[in-house]
Amino acid sequence: MIETKKRQLVVSDIVLIGEIGGTAEEDAAALIKESGTEKPVIVVLLDSLHHR
């Protein structure tokens, strides 16, 4: 679930860090796109580092 705050924050860049699997990253990407922001967006997706 992506939560947003009502107050305005001063943000210079947007950084999204996630793990492969699920749809949270896609939901966040849609939210960023819908916001119309012109700020740089950096995305890092990682595979699980914990092997069983």
The pLDDT assigned to 50 comes to 63
- The predicted model scores a pTM of 0.58
Structural domain span for residue 52: 1-52
C-alpha torsion angle, residues 40, 19, 29, 13 (rounded to 10): -20
> Among 23, 30, 22, which Cα is nearest to 4's?
30
18-31 pLDDT, tens digit per residue, is 887 778 888 888 99
Structure tokens at 7: 């107050």
pLDDT tens across the length of the chain (52 residues): 556 666 666 778 888 888 877 788 888 889 989 999 888 999 888 876 665 5
16: exposed, middle or buried (Cβ count in 10 Å: 0-12, 13-18, 19+): middle
User: What is the spatial distance between Cα 20 and Cα 42, in angstroms, rounded to a whole number?
Assistant: 16
Phi, then psi, of 41 in degrees rounded to 5:
-120, 125
The pLDDT assigned to 17 comes to 84
Count of the separate structural domains present in the chain = 1
The pLDDT assigned to 43 comes to 87
